[in-house]
Amino acid sequence: MRFFVDTANIEEIRKANEMGIICGVTTNPSLIAKEGRDFKQVIEEIASIVDGPISGEVKATTADAAGMIEEGRQIAAIHPNMVVKIPMTSEGLKAVKVLTGAGIKTNVTLVFSAAQALLAARAGATYVSPFLGRLDDISMPGIDLIEEITEIFSIHEIETEIIAASIRNPIHVIDCAKAGADIATVPYPVLEQMTRHPLTDQGIKKFQDDYRKVFGE
Ligand code: E4P
């Protein structure tokens, strides 16, 4: 399983990239709004840092296929690594089909069922993004959805890649890796959490103390 970072914050993207563990970035309208900066400017900055797929989503106010196609073309024109993120609706599927036909990569987002994932794949989506955390929030195990989609895609040899999204903690990440997700898009604080273990900290301290006792600073 590969990692994307799920943020529009340049500092977080820079730090995750320097760690050497991410190969892409996902954003969404909420994450862009949180930064309070121009969409194109943010995306261009991200593209100057990370050399991999960058998902930019059509505006939350664009609901019809024609609008999504128009906006999708503009997003794709920002940088060759752009992936157009489209919400999972019937209009969204129409837009995915047209954009795919034009050679533009797409990421179908807000996927909450295997049926939605299958439709998105058949419309030609490059990626589907099932949301774990938001399912957990309503007491439905999000991981079951990842398992179901990986099973279906494997049976039918579907090439659309599964991006496990709405990740809230390291356990989500490990469960997604075990379930066979291709990618997990992870918020930076969770990536940081994944680096830590109390025994690692204790071990470093003991190595330093033992060394200092004999050799000093
Ligand atoms: C996915 O691409 C979305 O940006 C993201 O994972 C949503 O996560 P949330 O449920 O924490 O907002």
| ipTM for the predicted complex | 0.97
Q: In which domain, by residue range, is 21 found?
A: 2-215
Of 189, 161, 172, which Cα lies nearest the Cα of 136?
172
Residue 39 in tokens: 């969409």
Mean per-residue pLDDT pooled into runs of 10, the chain (217 residues): 98 98 97 96 97 94 92 97 98 98 98 98 98 98 98 98 98 98 98 98 98 94
pLDDT of res. 154: 98
Residue 193 has a CB neighbour count (10 Å cut-off) of 13
Residue 118 in tokens: 């299958």
pLDDT of res. 125: 98
pLDDT of res. 217: 83
85 is catalytic: yes
pLDDT of res. 92: 97
Domain count, the chain: 1
Residues lining ligand 1, Cβ inside 6 A? 6, 26, 28, 109, 129, 131, 133-134, 165-166, 185
CA contacts within 13 A on the Cβ side of 200: 5
Q: Which of 15, 85, 94, 206 is catalytic?
A: 85
H or E segment and range at residue 164: strand 161-164
Whichever domain contains 163, its CATH number is 3.20.20.70
- The reply to whether the predicted model has a pTM over 0.90 is yes
pLDDT of res. 206: 98
